[in-house]
Amino acid sequence: MCPQRCLSLSRFVLVLLLAGVPPATLRAAAVPGDRGAQPNPEVTYRSAPKPLPPGAVTSDWATFLGPTHNMASPETKLLRAFPADGLRVVWEMPRGSGFAAPVVQGDRLIVFHRVGDEEVVECLYPLDGRRYWRFAYASAYQDRYGYNHGPRASPVIADGRVFTCGAGGRLHALDLVTGRVLWSHELLPEFKVTQNFFGVASAPLVEGGKVIVNVGAPGGPCVVAFAADTGKQLWGAGDTWGPSYASPIPAVLQGKRRVLVFAGGESRPATGGLLCLDPENGRIDFTFPWRGTRFESVNAASPVVMGNQIFLGECYGSGGVLLEVQADGTARVGWKNPTFGMHFMTALVLGDHLYGVDGHGPRDAELVCVERATGREVWRTQPEWTETLPARGGTREATLGTYRASLLHVDGRVLCLGEYGHLLWIELSPQGYREVARTWLFAAPETWTPPVLSRGLLYVNQNARGMFRGEPPRLICYDLRAAQ
């Protein structure tokens, strides 16, 4: 948000407050620069966020896993201690089913979920949830394992467009300003792909004017690039592995721009692995098989890039592996660690060590530190604590923890979103794990969607109904800005 816009917005709000305009009217009023967002009847507005602290670094979060595709954010001057009565809620809205994270660019926030028999894309104003537009289409997807029937793949904002891929494989390009459909593809029938274990869950990657998707067609292509402006197929690559749940990641390896696709879906025998390819033409530099041998195994954690090194992890048998990309474009194995395998959580790189959640959980999902150079495990812990929970006729004590948690490296520490809705500031080092602060955002399972941070505001999906109060799934915007 530019300084001129912030100044204009501040003056406008001040005038209304001095005039005695009540908060409800203030929320519904047209704010200069918001391009006509309208009151959203689905949103409950709680309170305005604090002003951004002077000198705070902020960023967009326009794609899955954040601005650098690795759950690291450049944002600074965030709230270090959580209030005793909980983190301040700015606004919230009910969500339909699905696990897709929102994305934010400038004054636009995109929400992708399923409501009834439709997959819905909504464009909202990030500061208060007012709506610019809403686009919906019919969806007949049914989850074979009974989780929910909504989209898994996060949207992407790029070049004035929004790209979404639903659980049933319908790929859309929408105009960011108007929501108008620019083009679409039905990936499953077009590429003769059968429904995977959990539907389509790999987020698209927009790279160099191309929308790159892991379609996993039988006999190929495994990866397809469409022109971002027209939807025309530009190339297809790979002929072996099916679609996974890991999203393609861009990388610069040995000075060359590349795309990494960790593929491998439902197959007998279970097969999959990494493709490193040139985004310009789809030419493959190398492939590396890496997949658990169980039929029900999945590749779901996106590759982690560290210079010319790539970390892959899966939790159904193979574990973790570090690849070192050579000057000739090939790769060799640096190390393997069968007990450092991510399920769908992304490992963090902090200095000379990797930190991640090993196991497919919930109770066997432990936080682990390994040496980046050797893969040697340095420590392992299961962060847990006791909560007092409501029970019939009183209360009861229960042990809860982080379990299948998302880790976000930001502002010199790690923000951890636990599986049951806890938010923690933690410090991770080779010496161990240290909890700095903890709060309970909500009591609900399946908090598996990574949090999204933009301009000091934290957006969190509550994916399941609340365990005690029964509140429905929600998207909640929290104020994580430090006080001035």
Q: How many C-beta atoms surround the C-beta of residue 42 within 10 A? A: 16
**What was the pLDDT predicted at 34?**
55
Of the listed ranges 195-199, 262-266, 296-300, 367-371, the one predicted with least confidence: 195-199
SS3 annotation, 300-317: CCCCEEECCEEEEEECCC
**Alpha-carbon span 297 to 178, nearest angstrom:** 40
- Dihedral of the alpha carbons of 49, 175, 447, 348, in degrees to the nearest 10: -90
Q: Is 177 exposed, middle or buried (0-12, 13-18, 19+ CB in 10 A)?
A: middle
Q: How many C-beta atoms surround the C-beta of residue 327 within 10 A? A: 9
**What was the pLDDT predicted at 360?**
84
**What was the pLDDT predicted at 28?**
29
Percentage with pLDDT > 90 across the chain: 80
Q: Is residue 432 pLDDT above 90, yes or no?
A: yes
List pLDDT tens digits, range 179-194.
Answer: 999 999 999 999 999 8
Q: Is 113 exposed, middle or buried (0-12, 13-18, 19+ CB in 10 A)?
A: buried
For residues 160 and 178, is the Cβ–Cβ distance under 8 A?
no
Q: Is residue 291 pLDDT above 80, yes or no?
A: yes
The stretch 33-51 carries a mean pLDDT of 89
Percentage with pLDDT > 70 across the chain: 93
Cβ-proximal residues to 92 (8 Å cutoff; 6+ apart), any chain = 43, 44, 46, 129, 474, 475, 476, 477
Q: Is residue 33 pLDDT above 70, yes or no?
A: no
The stretch 75-98 carries a mean pLDDT of 96
Cβ-proximal residues to 57 (8 Å cutoff; 6+ apart), any chain = 74, 75, 76, 77
As a whole number, the mean pLDDT across the chain is: 91
Quickly state the pLDDT bin for 361 (edges 50, 70, 90): confident
Q: What's the one-letter identity of residue 461?
A: N
Q: In a 3-state reduction of DSSP, which class is residue 234?
A: strand
Quickly state the pLDDT bin for 295 (edges 50, 70, 90): confident
List pLDDT tens digits, range 144-168.
Answer: 877 789 999 999 999 999 999 999 9
List pLDDT tens digits, range 44-83.
Answer: 999 999 999 999 999 999 999 999 999 999 999 999 999 9
The stretch 345-349 carries a mean pLDDT of 95
Quickly state the pLDDT bin for 453 (edges 50, 70, 90): very high
Of the listed ranges 284-298, 330-344, 408-422, 430-444, the one predicted with least confidence: 284-298
Quickly state the pLDDT bin for 297 (edges 50, 70, 90): confident
Q: Is residue 305 pLDDT above 90, yes or no?
A: yes
**Alpha-carbon span 108 to 125, nearest angstrom:** 5
**What was the pLDDT predicted at 324?**
98
DSSP string of 323-368?
EEE-TTS-EEEEEEETT--BSSPPPEEETTEEEEEESS-STT-EEE
**Alpha-carbon span 52 to 456, nearest angstrom:** 7
List pLDDT tens digits, range 379-396.
Answer: 999 999 999 988 888 899
Q: How far is CA 242 from the centre of its chain?
A: 22
Q: Is residue 30 pLDDT above 60, yes or no?
A: no
**Alpha-carbon span 395 to 390, nearest angstrom:** 4
**What tokens does 210 get?**
């191309």
What is the DSSP code (8-state) at residue 223?
E
The stretch 87-96 carries a mean pLDDT of 97
Q: Is residue 25 pLDDT above 80, yes or no?
A: no
Q: In a 3-state reduction of DSSP, which class is residue 190?
A: helix
Beta bridge partners of 320: 313, 337
